[in-house]
A and B are shown apart, each in its own frame.
Chain A
């Protein structure tokens, strides 16, 4: 396993044109040895490009990649000793499960004893031991994906395992189990795992650190909790969480107050030095609750609809033509027509020019 450093990396697919467009804007980042990372972002934001740069399938237009401080930028994929799992399972159809798992070791001329030992160990972890002599093509899609993953894990010295939306073809229940398996594998082998996804739940439940990307930029790197509670940009607030963060265009009223229409909302943010005009207030629907009566930081809203999701109710309401969504405990009674909502100051995020202050 290795520490992977991306130093001033940027990439354009048309670098020779007069005004090249960049799929990845310059950035630097370090992936620590043995950690789990998720790269999260909408389609076309540069996630796969980043992964392919690390695995050597794409050479970056600018910058360097270092594995344990050794520059590997100019090394081809075969020389980087990296593993990559693709969106759809890639197996060698003509081989058995054993031969599939043994293939990377055979290509590297390992001894038969070593190959046996590694294949048996990895197949135990992935619960593929009973299928070792089966033709790989006869397995189900999720088992095939495990084989793809296993081919990465059989190499003890692999620098990292990169996964490009590997659970797309798997049904939701198995997805959950496989994510747990991946975590166990990470803990057992101390493999650096990098997981690309556009599914925030996958990213949140899998990773130690989440890298959120948008339009070739890294917009936030952090723990799932930070991303949820303190999104650094309005994009992250909107992209992470379901429903998305409530965002209101607002104006500063005092050193810690903004307004929604004519109602003052207190926040825990110091607003005394803010001079800009483009100010937004962000609040997660999870933090908004029904208040019994009007007091500080409550707003009276008109109820549009209530949807029962089983474990909670989603209340969609409007205040002065602005929509606000809140997740309410399903047992809590909601009166018809109008209701008071409480907005906790400590959970309010204030954005100036789309960035958190």
Chain B
């Protein structure tokens, strides 16, 4: 077949790919090399000035990035552990299995912003029910949203609650697709439930686990709505994440050129770090 004919067939796909993926990235790169802001909203070329500013004069971005790393890694680890435990619980034949499976999925089906508003009310330090309940058992009120350290853990709690069901769903699907024979063989060998988990379930689940962890890490590193509604990055900047900081620079201060620089740098760092994480996880969990 003539090469040109192939190109005709490829064109619709390529057009969509260029339109939705390549063009925005190229546009972002070009924007990052401009000084577009609310005073000069134009694509004036200023070279790598924005990048010099980012790497020499913006510790706030790097702080937000390391904070984001901590929040996303912690939430995903917790989601994995809890999600795996719940999936194991409803994997085997137990009473009300279907009921539990549905119950565990409810948080994922709710709207994050709405649920975060409810969580904010729940954690409210003077009016919220949580401190009220703790007060009844003699516990001093806890500064859930206004202590710089505790606020981070409050964000983690809400994120874990919201997204553990997603991890649960992936891991349960993985467990249900596992072959029976290795478990039968382990039973015949006389393995205890603990040994069965360590030597059969966990190794068999490794590829699915890596997939689930990577998907959740990608999602968790974009954390924005929870922080926005729950703490607005505060107190101070103690819960500010990269995406929230980029949002401030771009849509509050209208430094579009600089926000594009932050976005592109963030994208490159995420691609590199997720690739490394995927390789490390594969090496640790799948022994080929």
**A interface with B by C-beta (< 8 Å):** 55, 57, 76-78, 82-84, 86-88, 90, 92-95, 103-104, 107-108, 135, 137, 148, 151-152
Contact = CB atoms under 8 A, between A and B. Distances in A.
A347 B72 CA distance: 79
Nearest to B204: A93
Given A77-B188, A95-B199, A107-B192, A88 B181 contact: yes
A94 B201 CA distance: 11
A92 B187 contact: no
B13 interface: no
Given A83-B188, A107-B189, A107-B192, A94 B287 contact: yes
B190 interface: yes
A107 B198 CA distance: 13
16 contacts: A57-B187, A77-B187, A78-B190, A82-B188, A84-B185, A86-B181, A90-B184, A90-B185, A93-B203, A107-B189, A107-B190, A107-B191, A148-B185, A151-B185, A151-B189, A152-B188
A77 B183 CA distance: 12
B288 interface: yes
User: Is chain B's binding surface mostly helix, strand, loop or mixed?
Assistant: helix
B287 A104 contact: no
A86 B184 CA distance: 9
B279 interface: no
A152 B199 CA distance: 17
B143 interface: no
B190 to A, nearest CB: 4
Contacts of B190: 78, 104, 107-108
B121 to A, nearest CB: 47
A90 B185 CA distance: 7
A238 to B, nearest CB: 32
Nearest to B183: A90
B203 A84 contact: no
Contacts of A87: 181
Contacts of B203: 92-94
Given A90-B181, A90-B182, A94-B203, A84 B287 contact: no
Given A77-B187, A104-B190, A152-B188, 16 more contacts: A77-B188, A78-B188, A78-B190, A84-B185, A84-B188, A86-B184, A86-B185, A92-B203, A93-B203, A93-B287, A94-B199, A103-B199, A107-B191, A135-B287, A137-B288, A148-B185
B195 interface: yes
Given A86-B181, A92-B200, A55 B287 contact: no
A84 B184 contact: yes
Given A92-B200, A94-B287, A57 B184 contact: yes
A210 B190 CA distance: 30
Contacts of A94: 199, 203, 287
The 3 closest A-B pairs by CB, nearest first: A107-B190, A90-B185, A104-B189
Contacts of A55: 188
A104 B190 CA distance: 6
A83 to B, nearest CB: 6
A88 B182 CA distance: 10
Nearest to A135: B287
A97 to B, nearest CB: 14
Contacts of A82: 188
A95 B186 CA distance: 13
A95 B200 CA distance: 11
A154 to B, nearest CB: 10
Interface string B164-196: 000000000000000001101101111110010
Nearest to B182: A90
Contacts of B195: 107
Contacts of B188: 55, 77-78, 82-84, 104, 152
Contacts of A103: 189, 191, 199
Contacts of B192: 107
A357 B92 CA distance: 52
Nearest to A93: B203
A54 to B, nearest CB: 11
A151 B195 CA distance: 16
A83 B190 CA distance: 10
A51 to B, nearest CB: 11
Nearest to A137: B287
Contacts of B187: 57, 76-78
Contacts of B181: 86-88, 90
A84 B186 CA distance: 10
Contacts of B287: 93-94, 135, 137
Nearest to B288: A137
Contacts of A108: 190
Contacts of B185: 84, 86, 90, 148, 151
A149 to B, nearest CB: 11
A152 B185 CA distance: 10
Contacts of B184: 57, 77, 84, 86, 90
B288 A92 contact: no
A151 B191 CA distance: 12
A151 B182 CA distance: 13
Nearest to B198: A94
Residue with the greatest number of chain A CB neighbours at <10 A, chosen from B187, B189, B199, B288: B189
A103 B182 CA distance: 13
A197 to B, nearest CB: 17
A88 B191 CA distance: 20
Interface string B187-221: 11111100100011001000000000000000000
A86 B179 CA distance: 12
